[in-house]
Amino acid sequence: MAALSMQLLGMPCVLRDGAHVGIPPSLQQLLGYLCLEPESHCHRERVVEALWPDMGPEVGRRRLNTAVWRARALFGTGRDEVLQVSRSGTLRLDRCRIEVDVVEALLGLGEQNRGAAALGDHRALDLLAAGARIDPQDFLVGCCDDWACDARKHLEVSVLSALETLVHASTTPAKTIAWGELLLRRDPLREDMHRLLIRLYAETGRRPEALRQYETCQQVLRQELGVEPLVETALLAAAVRAGVPPLSPDVPDPALLMRELSAALAACRTAADQIERAITLFVRD
């Protein structure tokens, strides 16, 4: 376990000897860059070019030297071992000596961990769940450098992939709904997730929420894309509205599928007869 930890999501700080030490804005970019960029990108000349592109090389080097000195002061004992500068001019943070929240999140969101989580590995699922809850926009808030914007985009893609894995790996409707809701907050145009929630709400007796979910889907698609929901989404909502059990999306047995379709058709005919009788009574009155 690393003796030090650093937080770059939310309010940047270093946890040292049980106390939180704020990271000055002038150091946040350097530390964030060294955490997320590959070591090949962390030679001092490249760091100066990435962080202070509008300054001359000499001014940039002096600024980097000052930033390194001040960053090391944050780390306390053994600070030279935490932030290392090689003779060739490469800078690196020793990951064995300092734990960084965004780095740990990326490890949990990685493809290997997602694969293990999809197979039901409980530790992988816990790591994936922790990573999926982060907000990528919390990384170095206010930093608009290209590398930081790219890092947020990469985090966003990883979080969405993690949420999709968690939706499909969940073993209860409640967990599936919770992860599906979070995924839609991050990516509201995922019509397949809207359908999944409509179906699960209906199957768990939450019919009003199922219908509200369809309305939300309809509104988002109209506003953002200028389109209507797909036919299957509209039919699913119509089934919920009429009180007809939605067809299961996964029916491998053709005979079972035929029975379900026949039952659904009979239920629809019953509902249509009831509507016609209601219309007739209304016209008479």
Spatial contact of 235 and 249, defined as CB atoms under 8 Å apart: no
Q: Indicate if the pLDDT at residue 225 is higher than 90.
A: yes
| Mean pLDDT of the chain, nearest integer | 86
Distance CA 166, CA 242 (A): 31
> For the segment 125-134, what is each residue's pLDDT rounded down to a tens digit?
999 999 999 9
Q: What is the pTM of this model?
A: 0.77
Q: Given this model, what pLDDT does residue 28 score?
A: 92
What are 150-154's contacts with CB under 8 Å, separation 24+? 151/32, 151/36, 151/102
Q: Given this model, what pLDDT does residue 284 score?
A: 66
Closest alpha carbon to 44 in 56, 57, 32, 28 = 57
> For the segment 56-114, what is each residue's pLDDT rounded down to a tens digit?
888 989 999 999 999 988 887 665 688 988 989 999 998 888 999 999 998 889 888 88
Distance CA 89, CA 86 (A): 5
> For the segment 32-65, what is each residue's pLDDT rounded down to a tens digit?
999 988 888 899 999 999 898 888 888 989 999 9
Looking from the CA of 148 toward its CB, the CA atoms found within 13 Å total: 19
> For the segment 171-222, what is each residue's pLDDT rounded down to a tens digit?
899 999 999 999 999 999 999 999 999 999 999 999 999 999 999 999 999 9
Q: Indicate if the pLDDT at residue 273 is higher than 70.
A: yes
Q: Give the tokens for residue 190.
A: 């995922």
Q: Given this model, what pLDDT does residue 56 score?
A: 82
Least confident of 65-69, 160-164, 214-218, 269-273: 269-273
Average pLDDT estimate for 154-173: 93
Please name the helix (run of DSSP H) or strand (run of DSSP E) that holds residue 132, with its range, or none.
helix 122-132
Q: Given this model, what pLDDT does residue 1 score?
A: 46
Residues 6+ apart with CB under 8 A from 177: 197, 200, 201, 204
Annotate 117-130 with DSSP letters as a single string.
HHTT-HHHHHHHHH
Q: Given this model, what pLDDT does residue 118 score?
A: 86
